[in-house]
Amino acid sequence: MSTKMSAKKNGSQISKLETGIEGFDFVAGGGLPKGRTTLLAGTAGSSKTVFAAEFLAQGILKFKESGVFVTFEESPADICRNMRSLGWDIEKWVNEGKFAFVDASPEPGVQTVTAGEWDLGALVARVEHAVKKVNASRVVMDSLGAIFTQFSDAALVRQELFRVGAALKSMNVTSILTAERTAEYGEIARFGVEEFVADNVIILRNALEHEKRRRTLEILKFRGCSHQKGEYPFTIIPGEGITVIPLSAIELQQKSSDLRITSGNAELDRMCGGGFFRDSIILVSGATGNGKTLMATEFIAGGAKKGERCLLLAFEESREQLFRNATGWGFDFRKMEKDGLLKVVCEYPETAGLEDHLIKIRSEINKFKPNRLVVDSLSALERVSTIKGFREFVIGLTSFIKHGEVAGLFTATTPTLMGGTSITETHISTITDSIILLRYVEMYGEMRRGLTVLKMRGSRHDKEIREYTIDGEGMHIGKPFRDITGIISGSPTRIQQGELGRISELFVEDAAMKEAR
C-alpha cells in the first residue's frame, strides 16, 4: 500500500508511513503518521525496544529506508546482539551506511553529575548529523526516561520534549520515542507530560492475568488521522519479530458453499441431512473417553478417502498415541501421511502463548493448504490463556479457516462426566455451523453412550438422541433412545408408561383442536 493510498484510506491529508510490522499497519490504518513523532509507552518487558528496532529494521528490509537509533540506556553493541535473535544484522547495516547509532548511553562506572541548567541542544545536533549521514527517514529514541530523570521539574521536561519534537519534524523524519510506565493502566508515562507533547501515542502492555502474561498494543491517539480502537494482542516470533493480531480484520465476507462433505460416518451423514457443508465449522462436545477423537479420526479418514488433505493439530495426545488409536479403529494414518494426505502436529499447549499458537496454526495452514482441519482438543488450549484471550483465539482461528474455505472440526471436553457446558462451547457455539453432542447415559447400572446433532446451520437434520457403540471398526450409531428424558442435561430419567401415554394424548388433543379450527 503506498503512502498516498494510506492517506486516501484514512480520509485525511496526513500521509501514513508503513512500518512493515506484521498486522500493525492494518490496526494503524496504513502505518505511522508520516513526518511526525510517536510516543511508544510501556512497562518494563513490554517490548518497546523491539518494536522501535523493528520499525527501523523493516524500513531497511522492505522499503529501503535508512534509520537512526538514539540510545540512552543500552550500548549499541548490546542492541546489535539482542536483535540478532530476531534475524536483523544491524552491524552489517551500519557498515553499509543504512543504519546509524547515536550513543548517549551512560559509561559503565561513570557517575552522572548535573550542575546547573542544561538542555538537549547538543544531542539534537548529533541526531541531525546522523540523519544526514545515512539519509535517514526513520528515527528512534530509546528511552526518554533515562535522560529526563536528570531534569529537575516537569516544566523543563515538557520544554525539552517540544524542542526534540520540533527538531525531528524539521528533519522531515518519522520518529518513535519510547517512554517507561510504572503500571499497565493509569499514567501514560513517568512525567505525565510526554503524551501531551507527542502527536501520536501507542501503548504496549504485558499484563499479568490469572498467572498468565498477555501482550497487547493500543493506539491511544493519532493526531488528525484515524486508526482502529481498542487493545490488540501481539506476539514476538524468534527470527521474525512482532506480529500484531488484528481481530477487527475479521469480516463476514467469506463464501458459502452448498457442497456436502462426508463426516466419515455414513449414519452421521444421514443424521446431518447428507453430510457437513464444505465450509463448515463443526464442534464435537463430550466428556472424556466418549469418542471425540474417534469422530475426528473418522472425519480425517473420510476426507483422505476422497483425496482431500487433512491437518490434525493435537494438544493432548502424542503422535504415536494418535497413530496407535487410529490403527485400533481400523484407520492407517501412516499411509495417509505417506500419500501426502495427512499432516499431524502435536504440541503441549503450555509450550507457547495462545497468540503464538494462532500464528503457528496459520503458518501450518498456509504451508500445507489442507481441505480439512482438526483441532483436538480446543479445551486444552483454555489452560494457557485468559478467557478474553481464548475468545479472541477462537474468533481469529475460525475466521481464518472460513476465509480459506477449510472445513474445521474442533473437539471440546465437557467439565463433568455426564455433560454440562464448557467455556469452550460458550465462546464457540454461536460461530459454529454444526454442533454434535456426545453424552454418557447411565441406565440401570450400565453406562451407555448417546449422540445428537444439536445444530446444523442451513440444513434439516435428525433431532433424535441416538445410541452409539465403539469397537475395532469405529463408531456405530444405532437407534434412538426411547422413554428417556434428561440425557443432554446429564440427568437421564426413564419415563413411566402411564406418563408417556398421558403426554401422547395431549398431543392428540392438540392435533384434534387444530383440525377443528
339-343, 426-430, 507-511, range with greatest mean pLDDT: 339-343
- Range from 190-194, 195-199, 399-403, 455-459 carrying the lowest mean pLDDT: 190-194
116-125, 382-391, 494-503, range with greatest mean pLDDT: 382-391
Is 194 a residue whose pLDDT tops 80? Answer: no
pLDDT at 508: 58
How far CA 281 is from CA of 9, 11, 291, in Å, comes to 33, 37, 18
pLDDT at 54: 96
Q: What pTM was computed for the model?
A: 0.75
pLDDT at 138: 96
More confident residue, 507 or 450: 450
Is 24 a residue whose pLDDT tops 80? Answer: yes
Is 516 a residue whose pLDDT tops 60? Answer: no
pLDDT at 252: 56
- How far apart (Å, rounded) are the C-alpha atoms in residues 196 and 198? 6
Q: Give the H or E element holding residue 236.
A: strand 231-237
How far CA 47 is from CA of 133, 140, 421, in Å, comes to 28, 14, 37
Where are the alpha helices (H) located in 207-332, listed in sequence order?
266-271, 292-305, 319-328
Which residue do the cell numbers 452448498 mark? Answer: 258
183-187, 235-239, 243-247, range with greatest mean pLDDT: 235-239
Contact 364, 312 (CB under 8 A): no
What average pLDDT does range 341-364 have in this prediction?
90
pLDDT in tens, 267-315: 999 999 999 998 889 999 888 888 999 999 999 999 999 999 999 999 9
What average pLDDT does range 38-57 have in this prediction?
93
Is 31 a residue whose pLDDT tops 60? Answer: yes
pLDDT at 56: 96
Question: Confidence class of residue 79 from pLDDT cuts 50, 70 and 90?
Answer: very high
Is 477 a residue whose pLDDT tops 80? Answer: yes
Q: Kindly provide the residue ranges of all beta strands, DSSP E only, lying in 421-497, ordered along the sequence.
A: 434-443, 446-456, 466-471, 474-480, 484-485, 493-494
Q: Kindly provide the residue ranges of all beta strands, DSSP E only, lying in 29-135, ordered along the sequence.
A: 32-33, 37-42, 66-71, 99-103
Is 64 a residue whose pLDDT tops 90? Answer: yes
Is 16 a residue whose pLDDT tops 70? Answer: yes
State the pairing for strand pair 474-480/466-471: antiparallel
More confident residue, 366 or 420: 366
Mean pLDDT of the residues in the chain: 84
pLDDT at 501: 64
pLDDT at 7: 47
- How far apart (Å, rounded) are the C-alpha atoms in residues 168 and 200? 14
Q: Which of 324, 262, 318, 321 is nearest to 295 (CA)?
A: 262
- How far apart (Å, rounded) are the C-alpha atoms in residues 395 and 397? 6
